[in-house]
Amino acid sequence: MLTKEPFKFAIGSPTNQERTYLCGNGVFIGNDRLVVAHALPIYRQKDYPNYQVRAKGPYVLSCVASGIRISATQQKMVFAKLEDAVKCGELLIGLLAMHGLPLASDDPRTILEWAKEARDGIWEPLKLLAMEHGASFVEPQK
Helix axes 108-132, 82-98, angle to 10 degrees: 120
Q: Is the pLDDT of residue 140 over 80?
A: no
Distance, in Å, from the CA atom of 10 to the CA atom of 130, rounded to the nearest integer, reads: 25
Give me the mean pLDDT over the 113-129 stretch.
85
d(CA 3, CA 15): 33
47-96 pLDDT tens trace: 778 899 998 989 999 999 999 898 866 778 999 999 999 999 999 998 88
Q: pTM for the full model?
A: 0.90
